[in-house]
């Protein structure tokens, strides 16, 4: 069988799927489908070599009980070389890497080629450096050979290339994720051709702003939003998340790519969800438990919104029904007490196991006609439903999508050891052996209650929990006891001169996510305020 025949052979594709790098991935499509979508000839992708190297790094990290650390911003050709010399084995690239040189992207709006072009420039720069190093070594060998002082066997090998990991599409960019699954496939193709080794696919909606969606900053720089109205972290339903992962994997299969796929969920910091259609999201979707005179969208200003939420007493459907029945409290509301309430709730749970909130609500209503719960009245002007994000939501999603990706990543906006530990424990129980990633946020020297000594123990702690990859912002290098003076100086004075000069609020090295992102949020709110 020729190379071209093997490339288009469903049997050969099936055999590849049985290889160690591919065997753990679930695919809802057949090898015949992949063969029919392939071009007549295979493309020669440099990214495959780098992807296999990345897989080796992650596997070695798990076997050695350590976590591989990558920097999360300020990556350019010079800093990449300094990272390699400092001992870093992987690097993370996002649109935010260009923030200091391109003001047009400060609001998070990027073209579909922004990150792939950045990846390609960095990757080809590494190739050029590798060629130059080999030439320098060759010239040194010739000189030493003439002087009879050494042989070629004593020469140092060319410096190794660092595998690059990136987001398939910054969720805040307004393209790709938010539009079509074929759009995701096109983005994946751009990344494969750029030389990327790993990419992550998110479940966020994709709206720019300080707290709405994570984007590249969600990995290493977005401030956690804790006050009412300070921002919206919006995610899509589980079924849409699965379709995104499947679309990305299909494109990788069509191209014969070994790229490491990373399923990153924003459920841990989510405040809203776009739809209630999926039953698997039901435990986290909130609704009003008291009827009010008007819906949330009619509130005037943030204080009015906060008061509306207080009066509505938002709860999930199951929590609201349990509370209404008085199960676990001993007193039911309007239907009696004791055993009857418990039996009704157990009947509700058993009969609604695979129902979404809309379907389950009517079961609850048929059991207790006086019960009230409304997920429609708290919807935002964009139509988003309130969502109870947290570590349990992240665990739920990670367990569901684990068969669709190589790595699971719960995107966090603030490091909490208890959350990281609970996520790892629950995921490992359900999906043993699955690679897991984590991220740190901001400058730990600014975090209240966390000393540098405590921070320096984070990588070892995460490694003991089974995490194999950790993304950190350069601001945390000192606290973690990592990096070199040259690398830190470069990141401060070359890669991030604008950021370093504009700590607008005095609290965040990623000032532009808070300031410029907030402007984008306010603009979007103003546009849709009263139409």
Query: How many C-beta atoms surround the C-beta of residue 491 within 10 A?
Result: 26
Strand order across the 198-202 sheet: 68-71, 467-472, 435-439, 407-410, 260-265, 198-202, 164-167, 91-93
Strand order across the 272-273 sheet: 234-235, 272-273, 385-386
Chain-centroid distance, C-alpha 487: 26
Q: In the numeric block, which tokens belong to residue 408? A: 């699971």
| 8 A C-beta contact, residue 426 and residue 447 | no
Helical (H) or strand (E) element with 394: helix 391-401
Give me the half-sphere count of Cα atoms (radius 13 Å) on the Cβ side of residue 50. Answer: 28
State how beta strands 164-167 and 286-287 pair.
unpaired
* 107 marked as part of a ligand binding site: no
Give the integer Cα–Cα distance in Å for 119 and 190.
Answer: 10
Give the integer Cα–Cα distance in Å for 301 and 331.
Answer: 38
| 8 A C-beta contact, residue 204 and residue 214 | yes
Output b/e per residue, 72-107; b: 16+ Cβ within 10 A: bbbbbeebbbbbbebebbbbbbbbbbbbbeeeebbb
Helical (H) or strand (E) element with 428: helix 417-430
Q: Which residues are annotated as a binding site for Mg(2+)?
A: 170
Residues in binding site:
170
């Amino acid at each position: 069988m020729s190379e071209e025949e093997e490339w288009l052979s469903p049997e050969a594709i099936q055999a590849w799927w049985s290889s160690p790098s591919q065997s753990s991935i679930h695919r809802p499509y057949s090898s015949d489908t992949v063969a029919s979508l392939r071009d007549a000839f295979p493309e020669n992708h440099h990214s495959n070599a780098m992807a296999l190297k990345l897989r080796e790094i992650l596997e070695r990290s798990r076997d050695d009980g350590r976590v591989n650390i990558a920097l999360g911003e300020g990556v350019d050709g010079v800093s990449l070389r300094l990272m390699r010399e400092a001992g870093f084995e992987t690097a993370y690239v996002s649109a935010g890497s260009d923030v200091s040189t391109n003001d047009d992207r400060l609001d998070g709006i990027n073209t579909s080629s922004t990150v792939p072009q950045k990846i390609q420039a960095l990757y080809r720069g590494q190739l050029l450096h590798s060629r130059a190093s080999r030439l320098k070594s060759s010239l040194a060998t010739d000189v030493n050979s003439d002087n009879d002082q050494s042989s070629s066997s004593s020469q140092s090998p060319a410096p190794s290339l660092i595998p690059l990991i990136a987001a398939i599409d910054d969720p805040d960019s307004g393209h790709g994720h938010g539009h079509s699954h074929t759009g995701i496939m096109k983005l994946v193709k751009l990344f494969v051709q750029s030389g990327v080794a790993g990419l992550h696919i998110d479940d966020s909606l994709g709206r720019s702003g300080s707290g709405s969606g994570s984007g590249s900053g969600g990995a290493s720089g977005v401030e956690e939003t804790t006050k009412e109205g300070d921002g919206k972290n919006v995610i899509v339903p589980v079924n849409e998340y699965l379709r995104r992962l499947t679309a990305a994997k299909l494109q990788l299969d069509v191209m014969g790519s070994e790229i490491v796929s990373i399923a990153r969920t924003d459920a841990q910091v989510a405040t809203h969800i776009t739809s209630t259609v999926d039953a698997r999201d039901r435990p986290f979707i909130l609704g009003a438990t008291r009827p009010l005179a008007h819906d949330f969208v009619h509130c005037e200003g943030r204080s009015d919104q906060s008061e509306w939420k207080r009066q509505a007493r938002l709860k999930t459907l199951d929590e609201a029904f349990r509370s209404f029945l008085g199960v676990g409290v001993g007193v039911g509301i309007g239907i009696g007490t004791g055993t009857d309430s418990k039996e009704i709730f157990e009947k509700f749970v058993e009969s609604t196991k695979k129902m979404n909130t809309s379907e389950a609500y009517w079961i609850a209503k048929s059991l207790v006609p006086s019960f009230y719960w409304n997920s429609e009245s708290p919807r935002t002007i964009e139509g988003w439903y309130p969502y109870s994000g947290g570590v349990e939501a992240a665990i739920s999603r990670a367990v569901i999508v684990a068969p669709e990706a190589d790595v699971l990543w719960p995107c966090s906006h603030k490091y909490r050891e208890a959350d990281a530990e609970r996520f790892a424990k629950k995921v490992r129980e359900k999906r043993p052996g699955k690679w897991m990633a984590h991220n740190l946020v901001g400058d730990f020297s600014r975090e209240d209650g966390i000393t540098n000594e405590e921070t320096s123990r984070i990588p070892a702690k995460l490694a003991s929990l089974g995490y194999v990859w950790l993304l950190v912002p350069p601001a945390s290098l000192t606290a973690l006891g990592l990096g070199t003076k040259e690398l830190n100086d470069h990141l401060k004075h070359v890669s991030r001169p604008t950021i370093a000069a504009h700590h607008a609020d005095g609290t965040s090295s990623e000032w532009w996510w808070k300031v410029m992102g907030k402007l984008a949020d306010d603009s979007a709110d103003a546009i849709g305020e009263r139409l």
